[in-house]
Amino acid sequence: MRKVRLDKAQTGVVVARAIHTLDGVVLLSSGVRLTREHKDKLLNYGITEIYIEDPYSEGISIPELIREEVITEVKAQVKNLMTSPSVKVSVDAKKVGEIVEKLISNILNNEEIVASLCDVRSVDEYTFSHSVNVSVISIVTGLGIGMKGDSLHDLGIGALLHDLGKVMVDDTILKKPGSLTSAEYDEVKRHTQYGYEILKNSENISQDACDIALSHHERLDGSGYPQKLKNNEIQVPARIVAIADVYDALTTDRVYRRKMMPHDVLDYMLSLGGKHFDKNLLDAFVRHIAYYPVGTAVILNSGEKGLVSEYNPYFPNRPVVRVVMDENGHIIRNGKEVDLSQKLQYRVVAIWDI
């Protein structure tokens, strides 16, 4: 199994995972062969990627930090929460708390906590998927620095609701495909204050969660907003969510740009350690993020091409690669597994666009 861009998926390939909306509508069932009509339907729903089974990826299993059905259920609950008219006034802390506890318990039940977020999402449902993914990544990072109990719970809640204030911003601005005007950008930036005020108006929401909504766009060097806070003026939970927020945003397709590959985003964010992001928190985050998620098609320095078949938590940028094509472009039957942590003469040099 592997994930491919929908525009690259050949008609006739077998769909490996069902695709459905957060309202429970099945757009495409697993096991069917992809047709032109299927592709058009998915594009109309804003779906840009799909999981397929093909000879290259036969036998490769995509690991899940949290089961797909749990993630879908949680996103549907978040959608209901954020589209409720009352959300512009306050949120139900009990419902939010139950969602976060479900995420935490599922993460803790996983032996290897690696946030290789592999969900297929609609561009139109970005807000709800983004909220859940940022919460998952933040919880994983929090666990990485030893957070537990109420602190971890409050982190998860703040992360889940970090963009809540955007319910007060006009949709025409949020979904504008082109560049924002200065006035529009100023209005978008106000979502931090809007979110803070909604959460302060909500019963049983911690101060940490409120601070996350207000400060997740602050940067260590004072270049962020809304208060231009620096270094330790920014609370640790907000610093964690700042990292998770940027990572998920950059690795996701948006109406105005295509996503970046995880390894490129990680390299970019690491270059900003100590400037925009807390270095220690960034290290904890990177330890639990797959540089090259399983199923990624890669090119090695030898010229050979293959698919990442196994993630290596100790050497994130040196996974196991199933080589399926030699340096001359000839298919290698059954492939060969190359563990880059053991074969140091090999390294990934590019993504293979197949």
Closest by CA to 117, choosing from 66, 187, 176, 162, is 66
Q: How many CA atoms lie within 13 A of 235 on its CB side?
A: 17
- The predicted pLDDT at position 118 comes to 54
Residues 75 and 50 in one domain: no
Domain assignment present for residue 291? The answer is no
Residues 150 and 209 in one domain: yes
- The predicted pLDDT at position 258 comes to 78
Domain assignment present for residue 332? The answer is yes
Domain assignment present for residue 292? The answer is no
Round the average pLDDT of the chain to a whole number and report it: 91
Closest by CA to 307, choosing from 288, 322, 328, is 322
- Final residue of a structural domain among 241, 266, 286: 286
Instruction: State residue 34 phi and psi, 5-degree precision.
Output: -70, 135
- The predicted pLDDT at position 330 comes to 94
Q: Which residues pair with 15 in a beta bridge?
A: 52
- The predicted pLDDT at position 122 comes to 55
Structure tokens at 299: 């090119």
- The predicted pLDDT at position 303 comes to 97
**pLDDT of residue 120 exceeding 60:** no
- Final residue of a structural domain among 238, 264, 286: 286
Domain assignment present for residue 63? The answer is no
Residues 6 and 128 in one domain: no
Residues 113 and 208 in one domain: yes
- How many domains, the chain? 3
Residues 53 and 86 in one domain: no
Instruction: Tell the burial category of 69 from Cβ atoms under 10 Å away from its Cβ (0-12, 13-18, 19+).
Output: exposed
Tens-digit pLDDT profile for residues 298-334: 999 999 999 999 988 788 889 999 999 999 999 998 8
Query: Which residue shows structure tokens 């899940």?
Result: 64
Instruction: Tell the burial category of 31 from Cβ atoms under 10 Å away from its Cβ (0-12, 13-18, 19+).
Output: exposed
Residues 185 and 137 in one domain: yes
**pLDDT of residue 112 exceeding 90:** no
Residues 45 and 135 in one domain: no
Closest by CA to 162, choosing from 115, 127, 187, is 127
Q: Please, are residues 163 and 130 in contact by the beta-carbon 8 Å criterion?
A: yes
**CATH number, domain with residue 263:** 1.10.3210.10
Residues 75 and 17 in one domain: no
Is cis: bond before 226, omega within 30 of 0?
yes
- The predicted pLDDT at position 66 comes to 79
Structure tokens at 261: 């590959």
Domain assignment present for residue 124? The answer is yes
Domain assignment present for residue 122? The answer is yes
Residues 157 and 220 in one domain: yes
Domain assignment present for residue 62? The answer is no
Residues 118 and 25 in one domain: no
- Final residue of a structural domain among 235, 254, 286: 286
pTM summary value: 0.90
Residues 153 and 102 in one domain: yes
Pairing outcome for strands 331-339 and 348-351: unpaired
Please give the Cα distance from 38 to 124 (Å, whole number). 18
Domain assignment present for residue 270? The answer is yes
Range of the domain at 12: 2-57
Tens-digit pLDDT profile for residues 60-72: 988 877 777 888 8
3-state secondary structure of 331: strand
Residues 335 and 241 in one domain: no
